[in-house]
Amino acid sequence: MNWIAWRSLGAAGLLALLASTFFMTTAASRTFYGIDHPVNLIFYYHVAVAWVGFAGLLLAALASGAYLVTRAPGYSWLAEACIAVSFAFITLTLATGSVWARFIWNSWWEWSDLRLVTALVVWFIYAAYLVFRHQAQDGAVHAKAAVFSLVAFVSVPITVASTRLWQSPFHGTSLGTDSVDIHGLAFALSLIGTGLVYPYLVATRWRTHRLADELEAIEAQA
């Protein structure tokens, strides 16, 4: 896939997000969990960036496993790129959720809620990964970072399933509940848009690794 195609993917994603914004602000219900409030519309972005961000961490774990088996640097670059973009997406998830909570729960954060706390733990774990991964550009660090990524991924399904595994005092399940009247098209467009922007950002980050590697190889030959 050439670079123009990747950029087209990103542009298509932004257009889908724009269309999603249009439908959610003009046609979607603002009543969630029995509360009529405009900030409920945050749901459409909050859930989409969370899902795509967490799915990206699965891809990162798979790429890390592939790196440990093959030692091909491309897999290590892919894992780092996925984690960097997912980290940004999870940051957005936490920030948008916190803004929503401020208006609906009258609280920016609830330490007693397992979904919030486990999501924050994921954020810290992957922040540590990024610090670790960037300490040096050599195979030994990349291999340890790959093991880190595989172990870190255990935190992701725990977070995703937390609202179903334990009784959550605040954060309910987002879908499959009658309390949330979702505008299907707005949500689908938001999910598609986020799902298109994500690979474009990963590809951009992956290209940075490839160019840096190419430069290092040329300089090593000189």
Residues that bind another protein (CB under 8 A): 10, 14, 17, 21, 37-39, 41-42, 45, 49, 85, 88, 91-92, 95-96, 99, 102-103, 197, 200-201, 204-205, 207-208, 211-212, 214-215, 218-219, 221-222
Rounded-to-integer distance, Cα 199 and Cα 204, Å: 8
Choose between 140 and 220: whose C-beta lies nearer to another protein: 220
**145 versus 203: smaller Cβ distance to another protein:** 203
User: Least distance in Å: CB of 157 to another protein?
Assistant: 25
Q: For residues 197, 200, 205 and 206, what is the CA-based torsion angle, rounded to 10 degrees?
A: 140
Tell me the closest approach of the beta carbon of residue 199 to another protein, in angstroms.
12
The least distance separating another protein from the CB of residue 207, rounded to whole angstroms, comes to: 5
Q: Three-state SS for 117?
A: helix
Residues 6+ apart with CB under 8 A from 18: 193
DSSP one-letter string for 158-199: HHHHHHHHS--SS---SSS-TTB---HHHHHHHHHHHHHHHH
In the complex, the smallest distance separating the C-beta of residue 29 from another protein, rounded to whole angstroms, is 15
